[in-house]
């Protein structure tokens, strides 16, 4: 069980280090991440190393019984590096070469950067591979940079040559016949840079794929070198989520020993818990059952232009929610709040106020609880029978210009379907079409905004339906092939025959203006003209030019939602399908804003609501933290989290009836 966070002793005089270790012990901290941004301290000038301070830090931590997740510092090269190698500074799409002064200011394709990164990683590796405190290597930090320089252009062309069998094939894939973009030599191809009008979407998409692969190759270089020095220490890098991130984590997940994820909910009401559940389910699915929360904020979180201070109990609820969803612990950014620097007000386990503070008291309490749970956490056993598709390239494609509505939002669409399942209390996995895809464990697959679909993915989903699976497709799915070329004959070309519908027109709507359906549900932002070619209409549009036309359809077990249904509509729809597919929630009849998550024998119950709640358990249980016998019904206070250890063995059905609501 990992409990701790980023620890930056290089920001503090050495006297503070002893206090740090003492406080860590008091809080039950088991591990800290060291060295993430320490390059300029470890290599003060080119080829001159100073490890003495880090030796002392690691030894002190080891004496305190605290494990170290040791980072390679390559996310932030020192100023001497960029001055010596100006060609390794990144260039943005406008041609502006950036200057050091922040972090992440390097070009991942620059040979000088790659060499310097390998060098510092191997120096660190040689020195600490056998250190007794070392628990895990943490390569780099949050890969996700972007550069459009000439070195990048050269690397991009190499990548394109490997991906496209010939220049003709590339011209075809990129539809370069449009606007006279045909390339007659590989050397003419550029990364997307500032240009007169809309860029070529297939070029932009391939560039994002390239960036992801390019960063992955930088990771793999360091990983292999560290692995060579000590094959038994697991190696990870922390994945970050966010719309700007040019990394396809589903592809990366196969290359790390441990999927580690940074997650910062940025809303303050129950939506933060929904974001947490989303991130936890996604991370668990990347990690095929196991993963580690490497960073989250202990207290203040940014939301809508200001910071929000977590209410009492929220730290524990959110942290345990990640653990319930398979995380092997909870780590935070960061241990001690800094005295200066760009993130001076970012929260920490030890705040500016010091340990005599509400947050530190909550940390100590959480440490005790996690300590009690640690021996009881089995390998994750979260029996999801529903999966939602997640596809970074579709996200990237739908971030492009020239789409039919500015309101198209891939992440929001995926989160919305997940949220509906969360509210229905139904365990949910994600599946990744790019690394396809074993659907045999699932009874329901939900497909929101899966814009790019290959023939193989379409075939896998067709087979899923043929074997009785329920496929629920939302708008903007199956529209284009992996090069963003639209399939002819009516949308969604990839799924038309599975769904028994043919969409002949899109009707994007003004934001905030409701579109009503005749089953009482409401949609926003999106509507379509749907022809039935085998499906039956379950709901129809009631107004405007689409009045009387199908809006929601089914064709056997293939369901299509053509409208931008609101949250209530999705929840109702998915509950209905779950009932038909015999997929039960974790617990029947939970009060609103009470959440239950099963991990093996443990049942995590979270009361996010403002009132006390009582919950019936599927069997008698004990409190996994205190050992107290709970019986078969628990009362749980507002804002509380309770972990119950069920007496019934895993695998015993948790619900007797499949009907929801």
Which residues contribute to the site for Zn ion (CB under 5 A)? 107, 109, 147, 149, 151-152
Distance CA 45, CA 59 (A): 25
Judge contact between 479 and 493, C-beta under 8 A: yes
- Decide: helix, strand or coil at residue 318: helix
Give burial (CB, 10 Å; 0-12/13-18/19+) of 193: middle
Distance CA 151, CA 419 (A): 42
**107 interacts with, out of Zn ion, ligand GAL, none, CB within 5 to 8 A per kind:** Zn ion
CA distances from 388 to 20, 430, 449, 587 (A): 42, 5, 11, 21
**142 interacts with, out of ligand GAL, Zn ion, none, CB within 5 to 8 A per kind:** ligand GAL
Q: Which of 341, 297, 360 is nearest to 19 (CA)?
A: 360
Q: Which of 88, 74, 78 is nearest to 48 (CA)?
A: 78
- The site for ligand GAL (CB under 6 A) is made up of 141-142, 240, 262, 264, 295, 333, 343, 346
Q: Which lies closer to Zn ion via its Cβ, residue 76 or residue 152?
A: 152
Q: Which lies closer to ligand GAL via its Cβ, residue 301 or residue 388?
A: 301
Indicate the helix (H) or strand (E) that contains 353: none
In whole angstroms, the minimum distance from the beta carbon of 6 to ligand GAL comes to 7
The DSSP secondary-structure symbol of 298 reads S
**295 interacts with, out of ligand GAL, Zn ion, none, CB within 5 to 8 A per kind:** ligand GAL
Residue with tokens 């309770």: 642
Judge contact between 326 and 11, C-beta under 8 A: no
Distance CA 249, CA 241 (A): 9
Token code pair at residue 425: 């209390």
Please, where are the H alpha helices in 64-128? 79-84, 111-128
The residue of the chain with the least Cβ separation from ligand GAL equals 333
Q: How distant is the alpha carbon of residue 178 from its chain centre?
A: 35
In whole angstroms, the minimum distance from the beta carbon of 140 to Zn ion comes to 17
**145 interacts with, out of ligand GAL, Zn ion, none, CB within 5 to 8 A per kind:** none
**149 interacts with, out of ligand GAL, Zn ion, none, CB within 5 to 8 A per kind:** Zn ion
From 43, 273, 295, 549, the catalytic residue: 295
**152 interacts with, out of Zn ion, ligand GAL, none, CB within 5 to 8 A per kind:** Zn ion
- Backbone φ and ψ of 634, nearest 5°: -120, 150
Q: Which lies closer to ligand GAL via its Cβ, residue 179 or residue 345?
A: 345
Q: Which lies closer to ligand GAL via its Cβ, residue 337 or residue 417?
A: 337
Q: Which lies closer to Zn ion via its Cβ, residue 107 or residue 392?
A: 107
**147 interacts with, out of Zn ion, ligand GAL, none, CB within 5 to 8 A per kind:** Zn ion
In whole angstroms, the minimum distance from the beta carbon of 342 to ligand GAL comes to 8
In whole angstroms, the minimum distance from the beta carbon of 170 to Zn ion comes to 21
In whole angstroms, the minimum distance from the beta carbon of 240 to ligand GAL comes to 5
The residue of the chain with the least Cβ separation from Zn ion equals 107
Q: Which lies closer to Zn ion via its Cβ, residue 151 or residue 546?
A: 151
**240 interacts with, out of Zn ion, ligand GAL, none, CB within 5 to 8 A per kind:** ligand GAL
Beginning with the edge strand found earlier in the chain, give each strand of the sheet holding 386-389 in spatial order: 428-431, 386-389, 444-447, 470-473, 558-561, 550-555, 536-540
Please, where are the H alpha helices in 102-199? 111-128, 150-163, 167-173
In whole angstroms, the minimum distance from the beta carbon of 152 to Zn ion comes to 4
What is the DSSP secondary-structure string of 184-221? Answer: SSGGG-------SSPPPHHHHHHHHHHHHHHHHHHHHH
Judge contact between 56 and 21, C-beta under 8 A: no
Judge contact between 66 and 130, C-beta under 8 A: no
End-to-end distance of the chain based on CA atoms, in angstroms?
36
Strands 536-540 and 514-516: unpaired
In whole angstroms, the minimum distance from the beta carbon of 346 to ligand GAL comes to 5
In whole angstroms, the minimum distance from the beta carbon of 624 to ligand GAL comes to 30
Q: Which lies closer to ligand GAL via its Cβ, residue 70 or residue 615?
A: 70
Question: Is 295 one of the catalytic residues?
Answer: yes
Judge contact between 202 and 173, C-beta under 8 A: yes
In whole angstroms, the minimum distance from the beta carbon of 76 to Zn ion comes to 16
Q: Which lies closer to ligand GAL via its Cβ, residue 263 or residue 598?
A: 263
Q: Which lies closer to ligand GAL via its Cβ, residue 262 or residue 566?
A: 262
**245 interacts with, out of Zn ion, ligand GAL, none, CB within 5 to 8 A per kind:** none
CA distances from 337 to 6, 40, 63, 69, 153 (A): 11, 20, 23, 19, 40
**444 interacts with, out of Zn ion, ligand GAL, none, CB within 5 to 8 A per kind:** none
From 142, 214, 528, 595, the catalytic residue: 142
Q: Which lies closer to Zn ion via its Cβ, residue 117 or residue 643?
A: 117
The contacts of residue 116 (CB under 8 Å, 6+ apart) are 46, 74, 77, 81, 85
Residues comprising the chain, all counted: 661
Question: Is 48 one of the catalytic residues?
Answer: no
In whole angstroms, the minimum distance from the beta carbon of 252 to Zn ion comes to 20
Any idea which residues carry the catalytic annotation? 142, 295
């Amino acid at each position: 069980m990992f409990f701790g966070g980023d620890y930056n002793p290089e920001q503090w005089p050495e006297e503070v280090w002893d206090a740090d270790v003492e406080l860590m012990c008091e809080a039950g901290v088991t591990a800290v991440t060291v060295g993430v941004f320490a390059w300029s301290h470890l290599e003060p000038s080119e080829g001159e190393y100073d490890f003495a301070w880090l030796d002392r830090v690691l030894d002190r931590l080891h004496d305190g019984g605290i494990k170290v997740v040791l980072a390679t510092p390559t996310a932030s090269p020192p100023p001497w590096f960029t001055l010596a190698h100006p060609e390794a500074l990144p260039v943005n799409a406008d041609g502006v070469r950036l200057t050091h002064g922040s972090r992440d200011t390097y070009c991942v394709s620059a040979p000088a950067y790659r060499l310097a990164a390998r060098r510092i990683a191997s120096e660190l590796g040689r020195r600490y591979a056998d250190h007794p405190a070392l628990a895990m290597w943490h390569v780099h930090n949050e890969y996700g940079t972007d550069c459009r320089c000439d070195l990048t252009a050269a690397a991009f062309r190499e990548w394109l040559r490997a991906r496209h069998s010939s220049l003709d094939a590339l011209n075809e894939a990129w539809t370069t016949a449009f606007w006279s973009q045909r390339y007659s030599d590989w050397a003419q191809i550029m990364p997307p840079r500032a240009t007169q009008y809309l860029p070529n979407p297939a070029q932009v998409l391939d560039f994002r794929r390239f960036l992801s692969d390019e960063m992955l190759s930088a990771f793999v270089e360091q990983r292999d070198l560290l692995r060579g020095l000590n094959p038994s220490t697991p190696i990870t890098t922390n994945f970050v989520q966010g719309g700007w991130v040019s990394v396809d984590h589903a592809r990366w997940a196969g290359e790390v020993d441990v999927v580690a994820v940074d997650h910062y909910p940025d809303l303050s009401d129950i939506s933060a818990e929904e974001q947490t559940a989303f991130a936890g389910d996604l991370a668990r699915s990347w990690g095929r059952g196991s993963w580690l929360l490497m960073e989250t904020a202990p207290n203040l979180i940014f939301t809508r232009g200001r910071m929000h201070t977590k209410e009492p109990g929220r730290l524990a609820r959110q942290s345990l929610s990640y653990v319930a969803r398979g995380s092997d612990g909870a780590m935070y950014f960061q241990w001690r709040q800094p005295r200066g620097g760009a993130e001076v007000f970012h929260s920490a386990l030890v705040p500016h106020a010091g340990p005599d503070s509400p947050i530190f008291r909550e940390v100590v309490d959480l440490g005790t609880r996690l300590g009690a749970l640690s021996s009881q956490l089995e390998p994750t056993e979260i029996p999801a029978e529903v999966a939602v598709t997640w596809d970074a390239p579709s996200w990237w494609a739908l971030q492009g210009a020239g789409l039919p509505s500015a309101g198209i939002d891939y992440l929001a669409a995926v989160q919305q379907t997940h949220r509906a399942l969360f509210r229905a209390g139904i365990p949910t996995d994600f599946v990744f079409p790019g690394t396809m895809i074993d659907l045999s464990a699932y009874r329901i697959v939900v497909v929101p905004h899966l814009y790019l679909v290959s023939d193989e993915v379409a075939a896998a989903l067709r087979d899923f339906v043929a074997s009785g699976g329920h496929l629920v497709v939302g708008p903007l799915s199956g529209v284009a092939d992996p090069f963003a070329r639209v399939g002819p004959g009516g949308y969604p070309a990839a799924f038309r025959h599975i769904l028994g519908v043919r969409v002949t027109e899109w009707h994007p709507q003004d934001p905030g203006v409701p579109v009503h359906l005749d089953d009482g549900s409401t949609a926003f932002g999106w509507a379509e003209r749907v022809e039935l070619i085998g499906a039956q209409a379950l709901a129809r549009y009631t107004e405007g030019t689409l009045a009387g036309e199908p809006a929601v359809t089914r064709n056997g077990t293939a369901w299509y939602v053509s409208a931008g249904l609101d949250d209530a509509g999705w929840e109702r729809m998915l509950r209905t399908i779950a009932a038909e597919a015999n997929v039960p929630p974790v617990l029947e009849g939970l009060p609103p804003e009470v959440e239950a998550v099963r991990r093996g024998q443990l049942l995590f119950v979270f009361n996010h609501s403002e009132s006390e709640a009582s919950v019936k358990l599927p069997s008698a249980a004990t409190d996994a933290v205190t050992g107290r016998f709970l019986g078969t019904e628990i009362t749980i206070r507002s804002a509380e989290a309770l972990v119950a250890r069920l007496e019934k063995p895993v695998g015993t059905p948790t619900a007797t009836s499949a009907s929801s609501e």
